[in-house]
């Protein structure tokens, strides 16, 4: 049987890695996709979705599948088939398509009206970085992984729409600017009043009543950082106050502020302030500030 490893799973997205060896019987039978899925091939393979022309799926393209889509695969490489995939849950695929494309499928279970599209260099690198982190690094926060996956799929759909002249007309600026600012302020309030909470993208959008993709885009446009980056900044500033106040248990502080591990907290603190928290706690703070040029 083909092997499949789930790298991340939340209420919004699921991310996984799929491998099918060349000697698997699935090369000779019709396969059925499970979920609304965007696939990033890492080995060239020929994919033939039912009612469409065959497509050479390689690293330069992304494959799109609706839930229940029948397809066949054709062997081209001695590694068989290997790919990372992102499954969009609920109505998120429809929301992304509505945001990016002029034409939208009216079938609730078939949001994608395409089977493949381009994989721009920046998107390819982002998907590689995300999957590498999920496989090799410390566990990513739910918000970080969700935000990265949703914005990646949105940008892929937008790139395909631009390439074929299918971009959606934007609403008037006057009509939307005030509501966008209000939504971003609502999110900032949520994060600021409870920065240590294990925020997920699904939890945030449920409270402010906008789509995940729309929220990620407008937040970055308004503030210049992602939601996860903004939340991390809040956590680090609260941590700095605690450290300077004499907090001794840095591991407990990391947990209280929502960091995955003590080392994850320390690395973010060092990156944010230029000094690890233990060194800041034990230093002559005024002397350190003078030496660092922050005075």
For 94-135, the pLDDT digits (tens) are 888 888 765 555 566 789 988 999 999 999 999 999 998 898
Architecture of the structural domain at 3-163 = Sandwich (2.60)
Closest CA to 45 of 23, 18, 77, 3: 77
Helical (H) or strand (E) element with 169:
none
Residue 37 pairs with which residues in a beta bridge?
65, 87
**Rounded to the nearest 10 degrees, what angle do helices 212-223 and 227-244 cross at?**
60
CA–CA dist 247, 241 (Å, integer):
9
**In this prediction, what percent of the chain has a pLDDT beyond 70?**
86
pLDDT digits (tens, 9 = 90+) for 31-79: 999 999 999 999 999 999 998 999 999 999 999 999 999 999 999 999 9
Q: What are phi and psi of 189, to 5 degrees?
A: -65, -45
> To the nearest whole number, what is the mean pLDDT of the chain?
87
Q: For residue range 158-206, what is the model confidence (pLDDT) as tens digits? A: 888 887 666 555 555 554 788 888 999 999 999 999 999 999 999 999 9
| Cβ neighbours, 10 Å, residue 14 | 18
Superfamily of domain 235-292: Homeodomain-like (1.10.10.60)
pLDDT of residue 175: 47
**pLDDT tens digits, residue range 7-37?**
999 999 999 999 999 999 999 999 999 999 9
Q: In what order do the strands lie in the sheet with 36-41?
A: 3-9, 13-20, 81-88, 36-41, 61-65, 116-118
In the chain, what percentage of residues exceed pLDDT 90? 60
């Amino acid at each position: 049987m083909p092997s499949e490893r789930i790298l991340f799973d939340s209420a919004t997205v699921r991310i996984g890695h799929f491998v099918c060896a060349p000697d698997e019987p699935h090369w000779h039978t019709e396969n059925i996709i499970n979920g609304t899925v965007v696939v990033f091939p890492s080995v060239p393979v020929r994919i033939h979705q039912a009612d469409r022309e065959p497509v050479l799926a390689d690293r330069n393209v992304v494959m799109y599948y609706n839930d229940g889509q029948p397809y066949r695969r054709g062997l081209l490489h001695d590694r068989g088939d290997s790919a990372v995939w992102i499954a969009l849950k609920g109505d998120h695929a429809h929301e992304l398509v509505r945001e990016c494309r002029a034409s939208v499928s009216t079938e609730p279970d078939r949001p994608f009206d395409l089977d493949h599209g381009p994989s721009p260099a920046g998107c390819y690198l982002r998907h590689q970085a995300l999957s590498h982190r999920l496989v090799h690094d410390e566990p990513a926060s739910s918000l970080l992984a969700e935000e990265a996956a949703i914005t990646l799929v949105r940008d892929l759909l937008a790139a395909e729409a631009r390439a074929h002249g299918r971009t959606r007309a934007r609403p008037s600026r006057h009509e939307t600017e005030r509501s966008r600012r209000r939504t971003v302020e609502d999110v900032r309030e949520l994060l600021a009043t409870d920065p240590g909470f294990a925020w997920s993208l699904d939890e945030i959008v449920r409270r402010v009543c906008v789509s995940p993709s729309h929220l990620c885009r407008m937040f970055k446009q308004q503030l210049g950082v992602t939601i996860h980056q903004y939340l991390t900044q809040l956590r680090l500033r609260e941590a700095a106050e605690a450290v300077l106040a004499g907090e001794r248990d840095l591991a407990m502080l990391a947990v209280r502020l929502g960091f995955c591990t003590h080392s994850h907290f320390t690395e973010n603190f060092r990156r944010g302030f230029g000094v690890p928290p233990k060194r800041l706690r034990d230093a002559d703070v005024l002397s350190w500030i003078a030496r660092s040029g922050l005075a």
